[in-house]
Amino acid sequence: MKTTDYTASDAREVLACSLAEAVAAALREDLVEQARATLIVSGGSTPVPFFKALSRQHLDWARVDVTLADERWVGEDSQDSNTRLVKQHLIAQEASAAVFHPLVNQADSPEEGVSTLEAQMAQLSWPASVVVLGMGGDGHTASLFPDSPQLAYGLETDKLLLAVRSPSVPQARISFSASALSNARRHFLHVTGDEKRSVFADAFGGNDVKALPIRAFMSQALSLYWAP
Ligand SMILES: O=C(O)[C@H](O)[C@@H](O)[C@H](O)[C@H](O)COP(=O)(O)O
């Protein structure tokens, strides 16, 4: 029997498609019972194949509100913009009918723009149907960074959003809080590679959320989507 080389990138592609099917099924399920469904996705580099696969899924996208778990406070034309990433790869194909709510506005800083965005995000259908989280090598998720002066607030506040600064990233950020992101029916963690596998294993081995903020999402159901 001929066997083909099954590379790590193939595994990541299969993972992305599998996650897209699970997220689409969750949205279809919730849209049976409710007028609109909220989907919260993360930015960064990992999600691109997932965004592309999800954009091809058939569902009533016009009734889906999409937003970001966090955003860099940069213009949409910036290579660092998660808004640009989502508009390019997710709000396309079948999903072009979805309503995307950027997590950034014209204010000069996230501190100045957060209250307006907070009011806008409060209008979405909560609890969100799905939150898809990423994770950095330091165990951050969304923009809840271990070295951020705003981390404690982000873990404790019942506000939806917070402005974030962190020495480990160059851009000012805005992020949903841990409580806002926890207020969802389903949570998925999409990570790849051995470094993140070991970080997630470390997260299981302790409970100091400030050391590894991903732990804030490990006291409830969390579907792990990992590939080498
Ligand atoms: O704006 C962001 O960067 C993300 O929301 C962030 O939380 C991301 O999920 C992790 O940093 C992993 O990023 P990669 O997928 O690029 O490793």
pLDDT digits (tens, 9 = 90+) for 50-106: 999 999 999 999 999 999 999 999 999 999 999 999 999 999 999 999 999 999 999
Output the CA 193–ligand 1 centroid distance in Å: 14
Measure the CA–CA gap between 39 and 98, rounded to whole angstroms.
10
Mean pLDDT of 192-206: 97
Output the CA 70–ligand 1 centroid distance in Å: 9
- Residues in contact with ligand 1 by the CB-under-6-Å rule are 42-46, 69-70, 82, 134-136, 140-142
The sign of the dihedral angle between the CA atoms of 155, 156, 161, 167 is negative
Predicted local confidence at residue 6, as pLDDT: 65
Residues 6+ apart with CB under 8 A from 75: 81
Token reading at 24:
């689409």
If you take atom 3 of ligand 1, which residue's CA is the nearest one? Answer: 44
Give residue-wise pLDDT tens across range 8-63: 679 999 999 999 999 999 999 999 999 999 999 999 999 999 999 999 999 999 99
With a cut of 80, say whether residue 199 has pLDDT above it: yes
Predicted local confidence at residue 7, as pLDDT: 74
Predicted local confidence at residue 10, as pLDDT: 93
Predicted local confidence at residue 123, as pLDDT: 98
Residues 6+ apart with CB under 8 A from 10: none
With a cut of 90, say whether residue 115 has pLDDT above it: yes
Domain 12-227 fold is Rossmann fold (3.40.50)
Q: Counting atoms of ligand 1 from 1, which one is nearest the CA of 44? A: 16
Give residue-wise pLDDT tens across range 136-172: 999 999 999 999 999 999 999 999 999 999 999 999 9
Give the residue among 163, 66, 171 at the shortest CA–CA distance from 121.
66
Q: In a mutational test of the pocket of ligand 1, which residue from 12, 68, 70 has the highest number of ligand atoms less than 8 Å from its CB? A: 70
Going from N- to C-terminal start, the domains of the chain cover 12-227
**According to DSSP H, which parts of 40-134 are helical?**
48-55, 82-89, 110-121
Output the CA 136–ligand 1 centroid distance in Å: 6
Output the CA 131–ligand 1 centroid distance in Å: 14
Q: In a mutational test of the pocket of ligand 1, which residue from 19, 41, 46, 145 has the highest number of ligand atoms less than 8 Å from its CB? A: 46
Q: In a mutational test of the pocket of ligand 1, which residue from 133, 135, 177, 214 has the highest number of ligand atoms less than 8 Å from its CB? A: 135
